[in-house]
Amino acid sequence: MRATIKKILLPTLTTALFICIGAAAVLWARHTRPARALEFQVYDAWRQRQRTQAAASACVLVTITDDDIREWGQYPISDRVMSDLLEKILAGEPSAIGLDIFRDQAVPDLKTGSNDQSRLAKIFTDNPQIVAPIAINDEIEMSVGPPPGLKDSPAQVAFVDLPPDEDDVVRRALLQRPDHSGEMRYSLASRVAQIHVGEKFDVSVNANDPWQQFGEVRYRPIVNAGAYGRLGRDAVQLLIDFRAPDFEPHSVQDVLAGRVEPGVFRDKVVLIGLWSRSVKDYINTPMRNGSERERDYGVTCHARIADQLIRAANGQPVTTRIWSARNETTLIVAFCVLGGALGFAARPPWKVFGGTSAILVVASVATLVLAILYFGARKAFDRGLWIPVVPPVAGFVACAAMVGVYNGVRGRQERNAMMQLISGFVSDDVAKLIWGDRDEVFTSGGLRPRRQRATMLFTDLKGFASIAENMDASDLMRWLNEYFQGVSDLVKESGGLIMKFNGDQIVAVFGPPRNRSKSQAIEDARNAVRCALAM
């Protein structure tokens, strides 16, 4: 009884130990850079599949190109040109205007020598729908302040920071974050979206509610979940869906020259920024064109975020939700347990289901389980829920491998011990069959008694004693070996097993060690007779 308990309990406890080790390792490693990089690769592939674009956008781009810079002979754009541009756009009655160009310093016009900073400041203060940029950096000296005319107008100031992930790809948007004084600031995209949709839009932080409200859509922001497991709670972020339509930009020169109809801007969010190769203001996106990553100019990315927020505020389910850390942990542990169970099922003897290899069955089940996880998570992603797959897959494979290797090593050790014990009494073939059916052959403390149908074949050389006396010993052994080899081959070809050699005698068995039915036992007897006749 004690041996039986030990036989069952020891492998079970060892398997549980390996599962705990694997789960703990994966739960720790899921927030490491390599793990996040793998998860981002999966995320990018799924995001690429979703590349269905919205029908229309509420955002319009006005861009500063290299041709514009050559025409003015300077960059940044002067206060005079900026004032002219804003007046032209305001005449088209846009709902909001967002600047992605810093204006914290006066910029005189190099051609005319004029300084129009006061004129630009008046345009800012007279038009509350204009939002100017700031930059909030961890280092105060690297931050950029608002235009002089808007220092006392926080509602018209927003940050333009686009946080890249570790691989320098922008997948998420900051909607709100504190500045150095602790005051919460809106992003450029969220602020112009607020102005555009009015009361329908709110991204304010509620410390008692982990969910955010975007119009009619409730959304859990990115905090300590998925590949973003260690973000702070002081910023409101969301994943960019990259479903905004391709924006058709209008250059500053075209707007100033009247080549853009004013109606283009009516009731639209107008974003002004750079589309220039000489002044680098672009980001890497999860999207790919072939093998190359696509790049967005900064202003284009702000337009995508604003478009997404406006669609969300109007009731469209455009935000990608992330599972909570608790749900993700549960999934990882569940797959670690499942992987360990499959590794345990693959222990020797490796025969199940009518002789099919257990390793083959376990490999097939493992492939099916991982396929269900991957395609199920991908389907959930298509419906707006990001379920990380790399940690549970890693836990599943790690636990299955650890338990499987342990059982393989342990089984090999048991096999070697048993073979050494019985190989001196039976042939290797019999020993292997006994090992394969050891659970039926052995019980705790020794052999399991059982009734067995068997046909025994005994052979003996007539006159062997006199023959042995008249032959040289070496010739006799050579002759016996040839005889034994020939007879052994006949026994094996007839389906029997050599039990032992005793002098000139051979003992062969037909049937055991496997249980035989009556019809099978009759066939064993016939095989024994055929073998004897063949001898």
Q: What is the pLDDT of residues 78-109, one digit of tens each?
A: 999 999 999 999 999 999 999 999 988 888 88
Q: What is the pLDDT at residue 156?
A: 92
Q: Check whether the bond before 146 is cis (ω within 30° of 0).
A: no
Rounded CA separation 313/403 (Å):
50
What confidence category does residue 392 fall into, taking pLDDT thresholds of 50, 70 and 90? very high
User: Is pLDDT above 80 for 10?
Assistant: no
Distance CA 219, CA 63 (A): 32
3-state class percentages of the chain: helix first, strand second, coil last, to nearest 5? 50, 20, 35
Locate 15 and state its tokens: 């398997």
Name the nearest CA neighbour of 496 among 524, 460, 518, 526: 524
The one-letter amino acid code at 523 reads E
Helix (H) or strand (E) holding 328: helix 325-345
* All structural domains of the chain with their residue ranges: 2-28+324-421, 31-322, 449-534
Cβ atoms 241, 321 nearer than 8 A: no
Average pLDDT value for residue range 210-234: 58
Average pLDDT over residues 188-192: 93
Please give the structure tokens belonging to residue 168. 């320098």
Model confidence pLDDT, tens digit, residues 401-452: 999 888 878 777 777 776 776 655 555 666 666 666 666 666 655 556 777 7
In total, the chain counts a number of residues equal to: 535
Q: Is the pLDDT of residue 141 over 60?
A: no
More confident residue, 251 or 139: 251
Task: Give the per-residue pLDDT at 220.
Answer: 61
Cβ atoms of 164 and 170 within 8 Å: the answer is: yes
**pLDDT tens by residue, 23-52:** 999 999 988 888 888 999 999 999 888 776
pTM: 0.73
Quick one: three-class SS letters along 473-527?
HHHHHHHHHHHHHHHHHHHHHCCCEEEEEECCEEEEEECCCCCCCHHHHHHHHHH
pLDDT tens by residue, 288-302? 766 677 888 999 999
> How far, in Å, CA of 179 to CA of 190, rounded?
16
User: What is the 3 state secondary structure string of 353-368?
Assistant: CCCEEHHHHHHHHHHH
8 Å CB contact between 283 and 84: no
Q: Across all residues in the chain, what is the average pLDDT? A: 82
User: Per CATH, which fold does 449-534 belong to?
Assistant: Alpha-Beta Plaits (3.30.70)
Q: What confidence score (pLDDT) does residue 354 get?
A: 45
Q: In whole angstroms, give the CA distance from residue 114 to residue 104.
A: 18
User: Does position 512 have pLDDT exceeding 80, yes or no?
Assistant: no
Contacts of 465 (CB under 8 A, 6+ apart): none
**Per-residue pLDDT tens over the stretch 337-371:** 999 998 887 765 555 544 456 677 788 889 999 99
